[in-house]
Amino acid sequence: MTRDDLKDYIASHFGDKLTALDTGRYDPLYELKAEHLVEVARALRDDENLKFDFLCNIGAVDTTEHFEAVYNLASTTKRLRLDFKVIMSHDNPEIDSVIDIWPGANWHEREMWELFGINIRNHPNLTRFLLPDEWDQGFPMRKDWDAPDFIRMPEPET
Amino acid sequence: MSKLHTEEFVVNMGPHHPSTHGVCRLMLTMDGERVVKIEPVIGYLHRAIEKMCENRTYVQCIPLMDRFEYVTSMSADMVFSLATEHLAEVEVPERAQYLRVIMLELNRIASHLIFYGVTAMDIGALTPFLYGLREREKIIDLFEMTCGNRLTYNYIRPGGVSKDIPPEFVPQCREVIKLIRSKLIDYEGLLNENPIWLARNKGVGVMPPELGISYGVSGPVLRASGVEYDIRRDDPYCIYDRFDFDVAVRHNGDCYDRYLVRLDEIKQSCRIIEQALDGLPEGEFKVKKINPFTFKPPAGETYARIENSRGEMGCYLVSDGTNKPFRVKLRGGSFNQLQALPYFGTGGLIADVVAIFASIDVILPEVDR
Amino acid sequence: MQTQYGTLELARVFQWLHDLLVSTGIPEPWLTVVIYGLLGAMMFGVLAVLALFLVWWERKIAGHIQQRFGPMRHGWHGWYQTIMDAIKLLQKEDILVETRDKPVFFWAPVIAFVAAFLAYIVIPFGKGLVVADLNVGILYIIAVTTFTVISLLMAGWGSNNKYALLGGMRSAAQVVSYEVPMVVSILTVIVFVGSLSMVDIVKAQSGIFVLDWNIVHPLGLIAFVTYITAATAEANRTPFDLPEAEQELVAGYNVEYSGMKFAMFFLAEFVNMFTVSAIATTLFLGGWNGPFLPSWVWFLLKTLAVVLLLMLFRWTFPRLRVDQLMEFAWKFLVPVTFANLILAGIAKYLGLYW
């Protein structure tokens, strides 16, 4: 189905849980509430017409007001693409793990925890892997993170 | 007689090792001679590329993208440029699109030649490494002629490419394609039917397709297990829908099939390059209105993905309307393949682990960023 | 006894030397000691030079197969590169692990080196050029080439390193397993010739050039192929060099050795390679037989041809896994060589050997 068909299908079947956003370019982007994450993800994977069995990416974003976790999905059989994001509060961000649905989310979620400090519930192995084992300087990818030697580039002359 | 007490012991295939491609540490739990558990320990190459990108303008990020995946740095530049173009909604000129396709496919061939050489070297045949790199030198000469660099090209920019090709590029490119086609027959004759090669690779490290899809494995590793998924055909970007090529698929999912799939892909890339060279139009090679300093795409977010020689390479880009990206999240194919390795790489000897690790063609910068 | 040798034969030089020493009038037991002492020293010198030559030659062959030149700087086409490497290894620090088993660690490379040289006492380098023509020559060689197993085990144990021990055990298991097909291939030739003496075996192949060699007979050809395969494994060369390959985790028995001790293992490997090639030449390719050229030149040419074959194997084939290696030896080579031996016995009985 084409992108517009996909939008209509999602609106009709998942309209109550997935709200369409217009900041997404090129592929449809939706917003999802954190408490519906696991059931909607499972439904998206198992739905006969969608079959989103391939989790491409989980990215975390720190807009300075809140945290977002963006899930990019694809279907290997149906040539479809979908993105949705879950918005979390800035203090104590927490999200469920989708490891039971897409086991490939394991390391993506570990990275989210390690670099942003987003707590992942039900994750089997939340340990450090990218940063050194004795890292104690906070969560580097957050926008308010600073380090003594983190040098900001000067604005280029135009 | 009571059963002999045995215990498992951990063997460390350390970060410095001739067989791990880059600095990857594999902790192997062995029961006698068999490998029972593999635990990859990564992070030795973490350079915080994503954080650095937030501090640079869009065009200044391109050299960082080169280093994100330096074996196929054209693809790395491409994925970021594609994401930027989605955000800015610019139309890239025809000539630039064709040039991009030629460069991407040449880079794919170069990467697969490295794979051929390094895999053969890991299994013990020391000579094909030199043959693969000899052909890669010809491709690198083409790149050097165009953009001046041999490894990190900084060539594909948002809005087009950075320079036009010199006039001697097209005939030399055709020569190179002809040479590679003929040498590929030699390569296949050297290793494909060799009983030792078959004994080391056939039936080793079989990855079931469902495991691959659920872990997000893509690229030649997934296609060797029978799943016919190629982003160039299924979700075409950058005029790939105009070219006629087959998707290389094999069905057994062992190391031998992963090797064969990549050799098939080299042949298909040669086809694509020839078609692109035939159809190369005249025209602009970049969009004029993207000024590297003041380029400010409208606020928004997008996820762009391309088919790299290692699988799906993706870039999730968030823009807030300034001239610097707000968030860049990079996804490399090797990340997911290394994640899936413990689930299909066990059960053999250490020599098998070496063979499997070589056949999935992991590049550590993609994993660690 | 005086035999007349052709003009360019080296045996004339040795006869002259022998006569010279006899004429000095040294009493009998000391005369033998002096003669054999000199012979041993000369043999050692020749083999050391040969080992250096082989190392250089291997690097040139490897380079040319890989479309590059190999050593080019030290002398014309790098001919004294090996000497430079030996000097470099001599002045390297001898790194000694504190917890090693001192005598075992020290003697392992010595035994490896000495065992490599012991086999040359019975190999005929040309007409009349054999140090001692034992009438059980081949049996002696088989016994002596097994000495290297001891040095492998000693190296693995003495390093006090569990990976070196594993590597040493694997090497030892490999060498011992491939002894069986090697010996049985040699036995096939013995059945044809009827004598264990090396010189007799060579003399049995004199006659028509090539057509009288043992390799031409079909059973002799099979024996040659199995012998070369088993010999490659004996010499721990690719495709059978998993125990000492760098790409494998278990690094091999010589991982803790550095400097000159390592050089001894390394040179012993090359001398071993020459030994098995020399045995192959003597048994299958007619030894020093051949027209026009002096006999020692023929011997050298034939042996170097076999050595070239072994080198080509190394730079072409991938390597076998350890379990595949052992499977190949016991499940394939041993039955084939035994069947060949039985057929050879039948052929000899029926007179099908000329």
Taking the CA of residue C322 and the nearest CA in chain B, the distance in Å comes to 8
Rounded to whole angstroms, how far apart are CA atoms B295 and C10? 86
Axis-axis angle for helices C102-118, C259-284 (nearest 10): 30
Q: Is B322 on the interface with A (CB under 8 A)?
A: no
Contacts of C138 (CB under 8 A, 6+ apart): C122, C186, C190, C196, C197, C198, C201, C283
What is the pTM (predicted TM-score) of this model?
A: 0.88
Q: Which of B196, B197, B354 to mutate to test the interface with C (most CBs of C within 10 A)?
A: B196
C-beta of residue C36 within 8 angstroms of C-beta of residue C153: no
**Out of B42, B215, B300, closest to residue A24 by CB:** B300
One-letter amino acid at B293 equals F
Position A43 in a domain: yes
Question: Is the preceding peptide bond at B195 cis, omega within 30 degrees of 0?
Answer: no
What is Dmax (Cα atoms) for chain A? 54
Instruction: Determine the straight-line distance between the first and last CA of chain A, rounded to whole angstroms.
Output: 45
Residues 52-81 of C with CB under 8 A from B: 62, 65-68
Tokens read off for A100: 């039971």
For residue A16, give how far its alpha carbon lies from the nearest alpha carbon of chain B (Å).
23
Neighbours of B196 (CB within 10 A): 21
The count of other CB atoms within 10 Å of the CB of residue C282 is: 28
Kindly state the helix (H) or strand (E) to which residue C337 belongs, with its residue range.
Answer: helix C334-349
- As a whole number, the mean pLDDT across chain B is 88
Q: Where are the domains of chain B?
A: 9-368
Q: Which residue among A27, A76, A152 places its CB closest to the CB of B227?
A: A76
Q: Does an H or E element contain B185, and which?
A: helix B169-191
Contact by Cβ (8 Å): B368, B41: no
Residues of B in contact with A27 (CB under 8 A): 302-303
CB contact under 8 A, C321 and B349: yes
- What are the φ and ψ backbone dihedral angles of C322, each rounded to 5 degrees? -60, -45
- The Cα angle at residue A11 between residues A5 and A17, in degrees rounded to 5: 145
Q: Measured between CB atoms, does C32 come within 8 Å of chain B?
A: no
Check CB contact under 8 Å for C67 and B354: no
CA distance B50 to A114: 14
pLDDT at A158: 55
Cβ separation B300–A102 shorter than 8 A: no
CB C283 within 8 A of CB C227: yes
Identity of the residue numbered B244: D
Contact A130 B42 (CB under 8 A): yes
Is B253 a residue whose pLDDT tops 90?
no
Angle at C349 (CA atoms; ends C348, C351), nearest 5 degrees = 65
A133 is a domain residue:
no
Across the interface, of B28, B190, B354, the residue whose CB is closest to C247 is B354
User: How far out from the chain centre does Cα A18 lie?
Assistant: 14
Alpha-carbon separation of residue C223 from B305, B363, C7, C146, C282 (angstroms): 59, 47, 35, 20, 13
Model confidence pLDDT, tens digit, residues B265-320: 999 999 999 999 998 888 877 777 677 777 888 888 899 999 999 989 999 999 88
Q: Are B68 and B368 in contact (CB under 8 A)?
A: no
Mutate to test the interface with B, among C248, C312, C313, C314 (most CBs of B within 10 A): C248
- Do A and C touch, 3+ Cβ pairs within 8 Å? The answer is no
Query: How far lies B297's CA from each of A29, A154, B94, C180, C269, in Å?
Result: 18, 20, 21, 75, 66
Mean pLDDT (whole number) for C182-206: 88
| The pLDDT value given to residue B269 | 92
Any idea what the CATH number is for the domain that residue A116 is in?
3.30.460.80
Do the domain assignments include residue A128? no
Of B67, B44, B38, B50, nearest to A130 by C-alpha is: B44
Q: What is the 3-state secondary structure (H, E, C) of B270-317?
A: HHHHHHHHHCCCCCCCECCCCCCCCCCCCCEEEEEEEEECCEEEEEEE
- Range from B85-89, B102-106, B173-177, B221-225 carrying the lowest mean pLDDT: B85-89
Instruction: Retrieve residue B114's tokens.
Output: 């490295």
Average pLDDT value for chain A: 83
Reported as a pLDDT band with limits 50, 70 and 90, residue C1 is: very low
Asked if C247 and B121 touch (Cβ cutoff 8 Å), the reply is yes
Q: Is residue A71 part of a domain?
A: yes
**Residue C354 pLDDT class (50, 70, 90 cuts):** low
Crossing angle of helices B255-278 and B94-123, in 10° steps, is: 150
Q: Could you tell me which CATH class the domain B9-368 is placed in?
A: mainly alpha
Chain B contact set for C247 (CB, 8 A): 18-19, 121-122, 124, 354
- Residue B22, judged by CB atoms within 10 A of its CB (0-12, 13-18, 19+), counts as middle
pLDDT at residue C306, as a whole number: 93
Q: What are the residues whose beta carbons fall under 8 Å from the beta carbon of C284, sequence distance 6 or more?
A: C189, C213, C214, C215, C220, C223, C224, C227
Q: Is the pLDDT of residue C247 over 60?
A: no
Residue C199 has pLDDT above 90, yes or no: no
Size of interface A-B (CB pairs under 8 A): 107
pLDDT at B2: 59
The type of residue at B45 is L
Nearest neighbour of B303 by CB, restricted to A83, A104, A156: A83
- For residue A112, being part of any structural domain is answered with yes
**B13 CB within 8 Å of a chain C CB:** yes
Distance of CA A30 to the CA centre of its chain: 11
Mean pLDDT of B33-51: 87
* Cβ atoms < 10 Å from Cβ of C95: 11
Over range C184-213, report the average pLDDT.
84
Q: Are the Cβ atoms of C316 and B19 closer than 8 angstroms?
A: no
Contact indicator for A95, A71 with CB cutoff of 8 Å: no
**What is the helix (H) or strand (E) element at residue C131, kind and residue range?**
none
Residue B125 has pLDDT above 90, yes or no: no
Inter-chain touch B293–A72, beta carbons under 8 Å: no
Is A140 in contact with A112 (CB distance < 8 Å)?
no
Which residues from chain B sit within 8 angstroms of residue A141, using beta carbons?
50-51
Least CA distance to B187: which residue of chain C? Answer: C316
Chain centroid, CA C34 distance in Å: 27
Residue with tokens 């001192």: C102
With cut-offs at 50, 70 and 90, classify the pLDDT of residue C216: confident
For residues A90 and B184, the model is more confident at B184
Beta carbons of A106 and A149 less than 8 angstroms apart: no
Q: What pLDDT digit, counting tens, does each position of B239-248 carry?
A: 888 898 889 8
The arithmetic mean of pLDDT across residues C232-241, rounded, is 81
pLDDT the model gives residue A151 = 64
Q: Report the C-alpha gap between C48 and B229 in whole angstroms.
A: 60
- Tell me the two tokens of residue C127: 């007409």
Q: Residue B74 and residue B76: Cα distance in Å, rounded?
A: 5
| C315 Cβ under 8 Å from any chain B Cβ | yes
Of the listed ranges A49-63, C8-22, C332-346, the one predicted with least confidence: C8-22
- Residue C23 to residue C27: CA distance in whole angstroms: 11
Q: How far does CA C346 lie from the centroid of its chain?
A: 30
Using CA atoms, how far residue B9 sits from A134, B29, C92, in Å, is 25, 6, 35
Which residues from B are below 8 Å from A158, CB to CB?
293-294
Residue C247 to residue B18, Cβ atoms within 8 A: yes
Nearest residue of B to residue A80, measured between CA atoms: B235
Confidence of residue C336 (pLDDT cuts 50, 70, 90): very high
Q: Which amino acid is at C162?
A: K
Distance CA B252, CA B237 (A): 29
Determine, for residues C247 and B200 on separate chains, whether the beta-carbon distance falls below 8 Å.
Answer: no
Q: How confident is the model at residue B1 (pLDDT cuts 50, 70, 90)?
A: low
The band of B110, judged by pLDDT with boundaries at 50, 70 and 90, is: very high
Residues of B in contact with A128 (CB under 8 A): 43
Chain A residues contacting B via beta carbons under 8 Å: 23-27, 29, 53-57, 59-63, 70, 72, 74, 76, 79, 81, 83, 102-104, 106-107, 128-132, 140-141, 152-153, 156-158
pLDDT digits 0-9 by tens, C267-315: 888 898 899 999 999 888 888 888 888 888 889 999 999 999 999 998 8
- CB burial readout C180-203, b (16+ within 10 A) else e: bbbbbbbbbbbbbbeebbbbebbb
Residue C148 reports pLDDT greater than 90: no
**Nearest chain A Cα to B302, which residue?**
A25
Length of chain B: 369
pLDDT band of C88, cuts 50, 70, 90 = confident
Helix (H) or strand (E) holding C148, with range, is: helix C147-158
Q: Do residue B124 and residue C324 have CB atoms under 8 angstroms apart?
A: no
Instruction: Check the CA dihedral A138-A139-A144-A150 and report its sign.
Output: positive
Rg (CA), chain C: 21
Distance to chain B for C324, nearest Cα, Å: 8
Q: Kindly state whether residue A143 falls inside one of the protein's structural domains.
A: no
Q: Is B214 on the interface with A (CB under 8 A)?
A: yes
Closest residue in chain B to residue C248, using alpha carbons only: B351
Q: Please name the residue that has the structure tokens 């063609």.
A: B361
Q: Helical H runs in A18-69?
A: 37-46
DSSP string over C295-322: HHHHHHHHHHHHHHHHHHHHHH-----H
Terminal-residue alpha carbon distance, chain C: 30
